[in-house]
Amino acid sequence: MKNINKEYIIRGMGTILTDSREIVIVGCGAGGGTAAQFARKTDRKAKISVFEKNFYPQYSKCGLPYAISGKIPNVMDLIEFSEEWFKKAKIDLHLNTNVEKIDISKKIIYAKKEDKNITKNFNSLIICTGSNPKYPQIKNVSVKGVFTLRTLDDAKKIKSYIKKDMNVTIIGAGLIGLELADSFFKKGLKVTIVEALENILPNNLDKDMAKIISDEIPDKIKVFTNNLATNIEDEEGFIKNVLIKNKETQEERKIKTDLLIVAIGTKPETDLAEKIGCKIGTTDGIIVNEKSQTNIKDVYAVGDCTEYKDYITGKPMSVGLGSVVVRQAIAAGTNAAGGNYVLPKGFLNTFTSEFFSKEIAGTGATSLSMNEDSFVSAKYNGKSLPHYFPGGKKISIKVYADKKTKKIIGAQCIGDKAAQRINTIATAILGNLDVDTFRKLETAYAPSIAPALDAETLVCDILDMKLKSKK
Amino acid sequence: MKNINKEYIIRGMGTILTDSREIVIVGCGAGGGTAAQFARKTDRKAKISVFEKNFYPQYSKCGLPYAISGKIPNVMDLIEFSEEWFKKAKIDLHLNTNVEKIDISKKIIYAKKEDKNITKNFNSLIICTGSNPKYPQIKNVSVKGVFTLRTLDDAKKIKSYIKKDMNVTIIGAGLIGLELADSFFKKGLKVTIVEALENILPNNLDKDMAKIISDEIPDKIKVFTNNLATNIEDEEGFIKNVLIKNKETQEERKIKTDLLIVAIGTKPETDLAEKIGCKIGTTDGIIVNEKSQTNIKDVYAVGDCTEYKDYITGKPMSVGLGSVVVRQAIAAGTNAAGGNYVLPKGFLNTFTSEFFSKEIAGTGATSLSMNEDSFVSAKYNGKSLPHYFPGGKKISIKVYADKKTKKIIGAQCIGDKAAQRINTIATAILGNLDVDTFRKLETAYAPSIAPALDAETLVCDILDMKLKSKK
């Protein structure tokens, strides 16, 4: 019983089987891998075991589109922490191992690797089971040539399936759909995008902002918004056509398709968690708090399988962004190992991506998550450099403020350094800044880098006027 | 007496000569020009007069090095607001006109354009007289081939003076000195830099940060820090050599020089202001408050001729950055025209520049403005992209926190998107964020744009640990 700190003795209770804390992590995606890493950082002596049903340790899911495009040369480059790394960190990594059952009263997990049964006791459990891709409600999604992009193996399969001049149809014009559309187009494939809602990027950008991206999509890419996929036609088991139907006009089309990518979102994988009594929220994820704890003592959950809160509205929010997953994982790993890491009261869902030579980014609450009568917004179209300096790039930025408090609550940005500009707005939100204070921010100025008054604050001058005129 | 608002009648007192507010602005640099613009925005009917002793209306002083390098093709491109613009805005612009006297009791200025005397009444006066370059205490600074770079004419003269293979010596390794050194080097000139203090950029970066830039300076550029210019040798009135002396070793050197640029700072031009009783501060500038008011009623001052406060320390601070000038000018112009614009309680002195392929930026209080025992700092060297993504660029960032309050108070950054990263830190300062809160900021992540955990917050993880360990 040496090397045990006091807190551990209190926490471990009757389940202490060894002389140190035992942490079990289910799933080795960005969530599980990062949680393991921070558990190790927090407790050098803890016994940490990670169980992953697939063949690979932590890799970057967000990098998958770039592995297909070839920007990242080898799909295997996406692996962020190798088996070797886990060995060095003295973390037991069980790949190709399925956790089949959890006995929460005895704190034991039962796993299976091929024919071998593995049981493991734990003091703390971290569930990082991720999510599964959604499919449209149509037949034939199992014919050859239909893919989703969630795993390293998906990327490998798609990459080897691609042939010159193929007709690719992408269902879903979200971030992944557009990243893929851009990649496929650059590879010379013929690309069609089908989106069920009224505009592309419906979960990321307002209509007017999304239009800026629509206008950049090359004419050779066909985009059908407001359209549902209704059927898939095949030839000898291989996809041949996708049938789509306009929701408004009912017009039907047949899209010649050799390769179909379904990118319409995911559903949290919560089977194991539900069986041990974890509460599931309205967005289908495991409800976690600011310490990444579930409602079950000593059970944490992280990532795409969870539900947390929106920072501004407090509404339940499905976790889906890598950035959010990693932060939850830091909290879960640290806390499961006896540390104390408290996340902000909710997530801003700060995101970024780039396609068709445009960087986009956003943060906080916007018209996509709030009622029209609770906020005021302003938009500014500017340049990244002073007008007298050659080479300035376009910036469009829209900032949202709470109508009553005049605090900054969100923003969307397209163009030069959009991600970093949005980080500045995210900081303003975290700092509880009102529009009038933030618009006076002294931004960095040099003719070759940024104008004396930069887009982030200029848009807030407009917003400030609008707020004051609405008194 | 139509069109007069109440406030004007109170303010104007016995000096009302027309039916609207009269605003006189002395100087048409970034300060004067911007003040005029915002006075016009605030009061559509005010009579606004601007007096400028030189030949050009508002132009970008910060752009001068780029006009010399040729990055901005024509020196005249630097003019930001043309005479035509002032005409359209119904602002009387008097170029080549020297304001010789101000009668503050009668509220009249006396100016002279060539032989013509001009008098003008005012209700509000805005002084934007700028600053004059400093010279080292040596003889012969008036020989041919010695320049400073403060005006459009300076840039024109330097540009036409440059010949291939010339030996250029720059005294002063500040932002302008290094911007010029980089430009001259790229033009194929032989460049030597002489700096009196121990390292380059002594007013902008800590020694360890400055070293990152030193290491990037090509070997062909000779840099002598800790050296003073002691004499200038000429041949038939043209500069031939600059003599320098090491302050420590007393070693003397003779630097062959065809063109000498003196860039060791400026001294506020306050003659007119002093004569009417404006208080001058310890940094030699006219003391102004958060409304850009001087101690004299209805007299405002803006820009390089002024002294304001440091946002963190509250110490008097000489105004020198274009970004600061413009913000003071917005305040002065708006307030002089009857509006109400209140600046933050001090300036962060947020700056940026780039040379030798490195962007640098900084904000707030650092070791350069604070005592060692009042702050804790941390440094992080990272990459702009996740390690698995090709093309990541180096970032070095150093963040400072108050030892007691744990609030973020300043930062320096070198590398990819340094300016925008520093804007984020500046926002954290304005938002009064402590290190532990800011380090949990959800930054924008996408493999091709930024890593899941970005440099700004990672450095604060380290800083947080240091702060907690110093309890």
Report if residue A293 sits inside a domain.
yes
pLDDT category at B139 given cuts 50, 70, 90 is confident
How close does chain B come to A63, measured CA to CA in Å? 6
Report yes or no on A342 lying in a domain.
no
Three-state secondary structure call for residue B286: strand
Nearest to B441 among A417, A430, A454 (CB): A430
- Domain assignment of residue A274, yes or no: yes
Contact B351 A445 (CB under 8 A): yes
B352–A446: do the CB atoms touch at under 8 Å?
A: yes
Cα(B133)–Cα(B72) distance, integer angstroms? 23
Residues of A in contact with B326 (CB under 8 A): 445, 452-453
pLDDT at B16 over 90: no
Do A148 and A34 lie in a common domain? no
The SS3 of residue A257 is: coil
Q: What is the mean pLDDT of chain B?
A: 94
Chain B residue numbers with beta carbons less than 8 Å from the beta carbon of A348 are 442
* B460, pLDDT greater than 90: yes
Tokens of A244: 């789509």
Domain CATH number, residue A365: 3.30.390.30
Query: Which residues of chain B does A417 touch, with a Cβ-Cβ cutoff of 8 Å?
Result: 417, 420
What was the pLDDT predicted at A19? 61
State the pLDDT at residue B6. Answer: 36
Q: What is the pLDDT of residue A141?
A: 87
Please report the residues numbered 289 through 348 in chain B whose beta carbons come closer than 8 angstroms to any beta carbon of chain A.
Answer: 321-324, 326-327, 343-344, 347-348
pLDDT level of residue B12 (50, 70, 90 thresholds):
very low
Touching A: B residues 41-80, CB under 8 Å: 60, 62-63, 66, 71-73, 77-80
Q: Give the span between the Cα atoms of A446 and A469, in whole angstroms.
A: 33
Query: Please, which residues 370-399 of chain A have a Cβ atom closer than 8 Å to chain B?
Result: 386-390
Chain A hits for B323, CB-CB cut-off 8 Å, are 442-445, 452
Test mutation, B77, B335, B417, B427, chain A, max A CBs within 10 A: B427
Residue A67 forms part of a structural domain: no
Based on the domain organization, do B244 and B140 belong to the same domain? yes
Output DSSP code: residue B227.
E
Closest CA to B360 of A445, A401, A440, A148: A445
Please give the pLDDT value at position B249: 97
Whether pLDDT at A145 is above 50:
yes
Percent of chain A whose predicted confidence (pLDDT) is above 70 = 96
Q: Give me the pLDDT at residue A228, please.
A: 97
Instruction: Give the whole-angstrom CA distance, residue B443 versus residue A427.
Output: 9
% pLDDT > 70, chain B:
96
B128 and B155 together in one domain:
no
Q: From B215, B247, B264, give the residue that closes a domain.
A: B264
* Chain-chain contact of A446 with B354 (C-beta, under 8 angstroms): yes
| Same-domain check for residues A294 and A384 | no
- Which of B390, B430, B449 has the CB atom closest to A431's CB atom? B430
Both A18 and A94 in a single domain? yes
- Looking at the structure, tell me whether residues B248 and B281 fall in a common domain: no
Residue B282: what pLDDT?
98
Tell me: the pLDDT tens digits for A251-291? 999 999 999 999 999 999 999 999 999 999 999 999 999 99
Other Cβ atoms within 10 Å of B399 Cβ, number: 29
β-partners of residue B24 are: B49, B125
Q: Taking a contact as any Cβ pair under 8 Å apart, which residues of chain A between 339 and 358 contact chain B? A: 343-344, 347-354
Inter-chain residue contact A389 with B63, CB threshold 8 Å: yes
Q: Is B18 within 8 Å of chain A by CB?
A: no
How far is residue A146's CA from residue A139's CA, in Å, rounded to a whole number? 12
* B286 in the same domain as B187: no
- Is the per-residue pLDDT at A442 higher than 80? yes
Tell me the pLDDT tens digit for each residue of A86-103. Answer: 999 999 999 999 999 999
pTM assigned to the model: 0.94
What is the rounded average pLDDT of the residues B289-314?
97
Whether B393 contacts B416, CB under 8 Å:
yes
Q: How many CB pairs under 8 A join A and B?
A: 223
For every residue of A374-438, DSSP letters joined together read: GEEEEEEEEESS-TTSTT--EEEEEEEEETTT-BEEEEEEEETTHHHHHHHHHHHHHTT-BHHHH
Identify whether residues A53 and A122 lie together within a single domain: yes
Q: Is A81 a member of any domain?
A: yes
What is residue A471's predicted lDDT score, i.e. its pLDDT? 58
Enumerate helices (H) and strands (E) in chain B, giving the number of each: 12, 26
Supply the ipTM of this predicted assembly. Answer: 0.94
Q: Is A9 a residue whose pLDDT tops 90?
A: no
* Interface subset of B 121-150, CB within 8 angstroms of A: none
**Are A140 and A258 found together in one domain?**
yes
Residues in A touching B388 (Cβ below 8 Å):
60, 63, 72, 77-80
Instruction: List, for residues B59-116, the tens digit of each pLDDT value.
Output: 999 999 999 999 999 999 999 999 999 999 999 999 999 999 999 999 999 999 999 9
Which residue range forms the structural domain that includes residue B27? 6-132+267-336
Distance CA(A403)–CA(A185), nearest Å, equals 42
Residues of B in contact with A465 (CB under 8 A): none
Same domain, B296 and B369: no
Does residue A418 fall inside a structural domain?
A: yes
The last residue of a domain, from among B264, B299, B323? B264
Query: Which residues of chain A make contact with B418, given a CB cutoff of 8 A?
Result: 444
A358, pLDDT greater than 90:
yes
The pLDDT of A240-244, averaged and rounded, is 97
B170 with B241, same domain: the answer is yes
Q: Band the pLDDT of A138: cuts 50, 70, 90.
A: confident
Nearest to A171 by CA among A204, A135, A207, A206: A135
Is A281 part of any domain? yes
Q: Would you say residue A8 has pLDDT above 90? A: no
Q: Tally Cβ neighbours within 10 Å of residue A370.
A: 21
pLDDT over 70 at A15, yes or no: no
Tell whether the torsion through CA atoms of A337, A339, A342 and A347 is positive or negative: negative
Note whether B148 and B249 are same-domain residues. yes
Q: Do A80 and B449 touch (CB under 8 A)?
A: no
Mean pLDDT of chain A: 94
Residue of chain A whose alpha carbon sits nearest to that of B63: A447
Q: Is A417 in CB contact (< 8 Å) with chain B?
A: yes
| Option in A60, A351, A431 nearest B386 (CB) | A60
Of the given ranges (A15-29, A206-220, B368-382), which has the lowest mean pLDDT? A15-29
What residues contact residue A289 under an 8 Å CB cut-off, 6+ apart?
Answer: none
- When divided into structural domains, chain B yields a total of 3
The phi and psi torsions of A94 (rounded to 5 degrees) equal -110, 100
Q: Which residues of B touch A30 (CB under 8 A)?
A: 452
Question: Is the separation of the CB atoms in A49 and A22 below 8 Å?
Answer: yes
Distance from CA of B90 to the nearest CA of A (A): 22
CA-based nearest residue to B436, from B402, B385, B396: B402
Residue ending a domain, choose from B264, B286, B303: B264
- The residues near B18 (Cβ < 8 Å, ≥ 6 apart) are B47
Put simply, the answer to whether A419 touches B449 (Cβ < 8 Å) is yes
> Considering the domain boundaries, does residue B345 fall inside one?
no
CATH code, domain with B23: 3.50.50.60
